[in-house]
Each structure stands twice: as structure tokens, then as C-alpha cells.
A and B are shown apart, each in its own frame.
Chain A
Amino acid sequence: MSTLIKQDILVELLGNTGIGFEEARAAGKEAFQAQGLPTNKSEEYKFTAITKKIEQSIQNFASAEAFEVTADQVKANVFESYEGDVLVFANGQFLPALSSTIEGVEVALLSEKANTPLGSVAKPEKDPFCALNQSSFDAGIFISVAKKAQIQKPILLLNFFKANAGQVIQPRVWIEAGDFAEVSFINHSVNLSDTPYFVNKVVEVKGGINTQIRYYKLQNEGKNAIEVSNIETDIQKDGRFTSVNISLSGEMVRNNLSINILGSNSEGNMYGLYLLNGKTHVDNHTNVDHTVAHAESNELYKGILADSSRGVFNGKIFVRQDAQKTNAFQQNNNILLSEDAVVNTKPQLEIWADDVKCSHGCTTGQLDEEALFYLQARGIAKDQAKGLLLYAFAGEVMAHIKDESFREYCIAQVQERLGSNF
């Protein structure tokens, strides 16, 4: 197998152009060509050599195609006691026959919604992979929550992936919510092949006035996935957007999460947990842009890293000159369980307004030996004591998951990991 060079990848990827959205695709292509694939000199990707990883692992640039998923497979991958609705995808293609119809929510193929302003929320100029997706995404979904709709139960976006070695999957999601709507999404992926593949996904979430949107994401699809995800949202006046991202596996994962605060009295929350072992590499880049006064953002990312795993956290908080009375909090805490595990953490605060409250902090350390001894001295086995302490550390993030069945599922997954791998 020959390794492709960057130039070839570029040509191959752009050759994948799907149908529809000619203008948006052209804009994406232009933005991608202007940025190119990140190199080791790219500031935004300096700890995450994603291009190299793609060069090594991806040889077959044909888009992975949709495939058949059975109702049993769906059933097997929905959480126990989950009562919400489910939308099913195979390699990014929506499978309506296996999906719920949800009152108050319109779900359609993007190709049927030609007027969707793709790229207006997740701007292709900001990230080459976002641009790449916009130029050549292969399947997309359009989700619109009606004005004032209160969707009490969460909507599970259940993504099945099955790719031949080295294929590329580029899903695109457009979510919009009318004023005063409330909705929660759970993004969960299931990998049906164990060959390496590359998922490059973009999710745009356009909030309205006073919308309450929660977006949970659980990454646990196996150690061969190379994944770049761009999630970007616009929050309007009185709106709130909360993201909880839990990463448990993957070969190399890059999560870009961007929140644009465009209306006052609004709130953006970003919570993350990464529990890594083996050689897994997870990079969380978050960005919150306070453009108006009287809004708040909260951020807490926590990592537990074993073996020779690698974590990257970069948290940008941008407070523009007009964004007076902003409250912005950011915290990143890491526990390294092995000498070979590495974390690179970087808060990046750019504050142009003078009357704001901003705080940030990051810590990276080992498991608290004193606490461990205390628990052992009470008769608790060392491994279990470690598990208790690590779980206590991780639990703070999972507490932000409002849906109980999903929270319980995440807790079980995390506990299983803490019990067996560390």
C-alpha cells in the first residue's frame, strides 16, 4: 500500500462531490482550497497530526455507501429503558423506515431542503474539515423543531457506520429550532466494521429566541475510527445551548465545538469527559464567542488518561467589546494514570470588554495518593478505591446529562472502563 501525499488526498476528497447545494459546495471547496489540510505547522492542529493519520490510514477515497440496518440492530443499540425517539442513519444516510416520526419535529433529507443555508452557522472558513465536508458531504439530514414545541423526550441520533478499509464518511446535519422550542439530542455511533475509516461530520444548530437545546454526544465506536467533528451553534436572545461530549475510544478524534452567542440573557454550556487508553488520541477544541452583553458561558472538560493515550484541550473564549457583563467560566482537569500519557491543555481568552467576569483554570496531575490510601485504610481494595476516585472525578461531567436513561448508560460505560482498564 502506498501512502498518498497530501496533494493527492486533497484532489481525491474534493472529487467526491455529491449532488445538490452547488453554491454551498463551491464555497466549501474554495474555503478548503484556501486552507488546505492542516500541516504540523498549523497552529490549530499542532498537537493533532490528523493529516498524517489520514495519509497512513485512508487509501480508498470512495465514499462509504449506505447499507441495510435491521430493526434488531437498532433495538440492540438503544439504551435500556430509553423512552425517547430514534432517528437511524447508516453511514450518514437517513433510514426513515427505522426512524420515529416525532410530533413537532420535521425530519427530512437535506436533498429535499434545497434552501437550507448550509454554512451559515458552521462557517467553512474557520476549519478545513468543516470546509471539506461542505464541499463534498455525501448525505445530510434536516431537522426542524417547531416554534414553541416542547420535545420532552430526547431524540436519539443513532449512527451506524460500516466502511471498507480506508473509506470516508461525511455526514451533514442541519438542526433548527423555532422560538421557545425545547429539545435534546443524543448522538450515538455504532461501528459495524473494525477497519479504519474516516468520519468527517458537521452539525449546524440554529437556535431561535429562548430555545433550549441540549446536544449530547457519546464517542465509543471503537479504536479504529478517525473522526473530525464540527459542531457549531448560534444562540439567540434568552436561548440556551448545552453540549455534553463523552469520548471513550477512537484512533484519533478531533472535536471542534463552537458556540456563537448572538443574543443577550443567553447561556452556552460545554461539558466534556475523555477517558482514554491504548493509543487513543482525543482533541477537544472549543470556542465560545460572546458578541453581546449579558450572557454566560460555562465550560468543564475533564480527562482521565491511561497507557500512551493523548488528550488535547484548547478552550477559546472570545469576549467582544460590546459583550459587557459577560460571565465566562472555564475549567479543564486531567488525571494521568501512566507516565506515557500526555495532555496538552491551553486556555485561550481574548477579552475586549472591560466589565466582565471570566475565570479559567487547568490542572493535570496523578491520582491523589493520599485519598487512595485513605480508602484502602478503610478496607477498600486498591483497584476499587482507584475506581471510586476516578468515578468521582468523572461524575461531575455526567451530572450535566439531564436524560436519565442516557446518563445511566454513560455512567455504566464509564464505570465499566474504570473497573477494567485502569
Chain B
Amino acid sequence: MLSIKNLHASIEGTPILRGINLEVKAGEVHAIMGPNGSGKSTLASVLAGREEYEITAGEVSFKGKDLLDLSPEDRAREGVFLAFQYPVEIPGVSSTNFLRTAVNQVREYRGEDPLDAVKFLTLMKEKMKLVEMDQKLLSRALNEGFSGGEKKRNEIFQMAMLAPTLSILDETDSGLDIDALRIVSNGVNQLKSKDNATIVVTHYQRLLDYIIPDFVHVLYNGQIVKSGTKELALELEEKGYDWIKDEVNSNATV
């Protein structure tokens, strides 16, 4: 579904991603871990189409299409969803209005009829239940004044509404209390199918108790320096990243 080959990206001339290779197949869950500043969010943003980053080398194909060639909105319409690490507050834009515009533009791209107000509301109610989202939040402006946890929950709610094929969750677990974590993971798991895939960026093993990854990758210094199965996450939890950094650095000096 997603194939990243030798991806290099920089911002304002500073290289951040320095040769990423990653294959994600339908039905899989990949976890990406790694120390602060290693480039996890950059990778997520580049996949979603953030224009500030300059792609200096490499290619990304998604469902056979050149992803890097698509505008951010077309990537979303093709089925890429990024749950932001820091969801943006947008005063004055109503949550409902925003979602309805988004859902219908995605549907239009896919050749489906727009949802009328009633159908949209029904869908919204159904998905709200999934993440135990409070109706009151949706009557407010998009993310405005939401708590950290509410913003994260809203991301998963939007994901449920848009039914993406590839979801990239950038530290959606950070700042969630244990109940919220359970609810959010539960939502993610229910949306999982053999036809879609999930990339979860996280610092914490605890999330991976709920969303069980098929693969775990360590991103360090703009490269995936280690890949393994869910046991790798446990090892990282226990030992931290220093041993990996040492491994990378000693290889580099050989």
C-alpha cells in the first residue's frame, strides 16, 4: 500500500530525513519510535504533504500512485489520514461545518454523492459513540479551547468520519489519561481492517498493549536504524535508546 524508498527531506536547507525506507502493506500496523527530534513528525508531515519540507531525494508510492505528486487535499482524498501531534485550534470555523465540508469533498473525489444534513448527522452520531465524543465539543469552533486529550480524541473522531486507508497517528497517545487511551485505541482498533493500514508514532510501549503492532521501527537521526516486532518496543521501554544510538554511532565510525 505504502512504499517509501530512500526518502530525504530538509527544511530551510537542514536535512531532517536522511534516507527512509519503509514498506507498509494492507492490514498491517507499524509503530515508529525514536528519540525526540529524530524526524518522526517530519516523516508524518511529509507523507501528508506539508509544503515547508523540501524533498531532496527518494520516492513514495501509495496504492500505486506517486504520493509526492499529490496536493495535501488529494492525499487525504486518496485515503491518507494524519492525526496531528499538535492539532491546530481554528477559531471561527465550526467543527460540524468543517467536517461536513471535508467528508463531502472526499466523497466527491471518490465519485460518491454528498451526504445530506440528515445522513451526515447520523454518521456523526455513530462515530461520536465510537470515541465517546461529547456532543458539546462539536458545537464549538474546531479544537478551540479543547484540552489536550479532547484534541486527540477529536483527531480519532475525524479519522472515523473520513474512513482512511492509511492512518498515521502522531503521538495520539501523548497526554491521554488511561481511560482516554483505552477509548482512543479502542476506536483505532475498531476502524482497523484487512484493507487499511496504520502507522503509530509513539514514545510509549503502553499504547502498543492496546494497538498491537506487526512491526516496530526505530527512527534516529532521520533514518530507520532498527526494525523488529512488538518485542522491540518492550526492549526500548526497558533500555531506552542509548544502546541503539551507540550501535549506530559505532557502525558509523567503522
Which one of B32-40, B84-92, B125-133 is at the A interface? B84-92
Q: Chain B: which residue is nearest A390 at the CB level?
A: B92
> What's the Cα separation between A385 and B84 when bound, in Å?
17
Count contacts on A: residues with CB < 8 A to the other chain.
23
Contacts of B72 in A (CB 8 A): 373, 376-377, 382
Measured CB to CB, the residues of B under 8 A from A are 48-52, 71-73, 75-77, 81-82, 84, 87-88, 90-93, 97-99, 101-103, 105-106, 109, 141, 158, 162
Residue contact B93 to A389, C-beta cutoff 8 Å: yes
> What's the Cα separation between A393 and B98 when bound, in Å?
15
> What's the Cα separation between A209 and B93 when bound, in Å?
39
Residue contact B109 to A379, C-beta cutoff 8 Å: yes
Contact of A373 among B50, B77, B99, B101 (CB under 8 A): B50
Known: A374-B84, A377-B72. 12 other contacts (CB 8 A): A371-B90, A373-B50, A373-B51, A374-B90, A375-B90, A375-B93, A377-B81, A378-B98, A379-B102, A380-B105, A385-B73, A395-B92
Residue contact B48 to A377, C-beta cutoff 8 Å: yes
Contacts of A385 in B (CB 8 A): 73
Contacts of A376 in B (CB 8 A): 49, 71-73, 76
Contact of B102 among A369, A373, A380 (CB under 8 A): A380
Residue contact A384 to B90, C-beta cutoff 8 Å: no
Contact of A379 among B52, B73, B84, B88 (CB under 8 A): B73
Residue contact A384 to B105, C-beta cutoff 8 Å: yes
Known: A374-B84, A375-B98, A376-B71. A381 touches B105 (CB 8 A): yes
Q: Chain A: which residue is nearest B76 at the CB level?
A: A379
In the complex, per-residue mask of A221-263: 1 if CB is within 8 Å of any chain B CB, else 0: 0000000000000000000000000000000000000000000
Measured CB to CB, the residues of A under 8 A from B are 368-371, 373-382, 384-385, 388-389, 391-393, 395-396
Q: Chain B: which residue is nearest A391 at the CB level?
A: B92
Contact of A380 among B48, B92, B101 (CB under 8 A): B101
Residue contact A374 to B87, C-beta cutoff 8 Å: yes
> What's the Cα separation between A375 and B75 when bound, in Å?
12
Residue contact A382 to B73, C-beta cutoff 8 Å: yes
Residue contact B73 to A388, C-beta cutoff 8 Å: no
> What's the Cα separation between A129 and B82 when bound, in Å?
57
Contacts of A396 in B (CB 8 A): 92
The 10 closest A-B pairs by CB, nearest first: A392-B92, A379-B76, A376-B72, A378-B102, A379-B106, A374-B88, A392-B93, A376-B73, A379-B102, A379-B77
Contacts of A371 in B (CB 8 A): 88, 90
> What's the Cα separation between A388 and B109 when bound, in Å?
19
Contacts of B162 in A (CB 8 A): 378-379
Known: A373-B50, A373-B72, A377-B72. A389 touches B90 (CB 8 A): yes
Residue contact A379 to B105, C-beta cutoff 8 Å: yes
Contacts of B98 in A (CB 8 A): 375, 378, 380, 388
> What's the Cα separation between A392 and B95 when bound, in Å?
12
Chain B nearest CB: distance from A398 CB in Å? 11
> What's the Cα separation between A396 and B162 when bound, in Å?
29
Q: Chain A: which residue is nearest B141 at the CB level?
A: A392
> What's the Cα separation between A379 and B99 when bound, in Å?
10
Residue contact A381 to B73, C-beta cutoff 8 Å: yes
Contacts of A379 in B (CB 8 A): 73, 76-77, 102-103, 105-106, 109, 162
Contacts of A395 in B (CB 8 A): 92
> What's the Cα separation between A373 and B162 when bound, in Å?
16
Q: Chain B: which residue is nearest A378 at the CB level?
A: B102
Residue contact B73 to A393, C-beta cutoff 8 Å: no
> What's the Cα separation between A376 and B72 when bound, in Å?
6
Q: Chain A: which residue is nearest B48 at the CB level?
A: A377
> What's the Cα separation between A368 and B158 when bound, in Å?
21
Contacts of B77 in A (CB 8 A): 379
Chain B nearest CB: distance from A371 CB in Å? 5
Q: Chain A: which residue is nearest B97 at the CB level?
A: A388
> What's the Cα separation between A392 and B89 when bound, in Å?
12
Chain B nearest CB: distance from A409 CB in Å? 20
Contact of A392 among B50, B90, B101, B158 (CB under 8 A): B90
Chain B nearest CB: distance from A129 CB in Å? 35
Chain B nearest CB: distance from A64 CB in Å? 41
> What's the Cα separation between A385 and B105 when bound, in Å?
11
> What's the Cα separation between A393 and B90 when bound, in Å?
10
Q: Chain B: which residue is nearest A376 at the CB level?
A: B72
> What's the Cα separation between A371 and B98 when bound, in Å?
12
What are 20 A-B residue pairs whose CB atoms fall within 8 Å in the complex?
Answer: A368-B88, A371-B90, A373-B48, A374-B84, A375-B102, A376-B49, A377-B73, A377-B75, A377-B76, A378-B98, A379-B77, A382-B73, A384-B101, A385-B73, A388-B97, A388-B98, A392-B91, A392-B92, A392-B93, A393-B92
> What's the Cα separation between A378 and B157 when bound, in Å?
12
Q: Chain A: which residue is nearest B102 at the CB level?
A: A378
> What's the Cα separation between A382 and B72 when bound, in Å?
9
Contacts of B48 in A (CB 8 A): 373, 377
Contacts of A375 in B (CB 8 A): 90, 93, 98, 102
Contacts of A391 in B (CB 8 A): 92
> What's the Cα separation between A369 and B51 when bound, in Å?
10
> What's the Cα separation between A378 and B158 when bound, in Å?
8
> What's the Cα separation between A374 and B106 when bound, in Å?
15
Contacts of B71 in A (CB 8 A): 376, 382
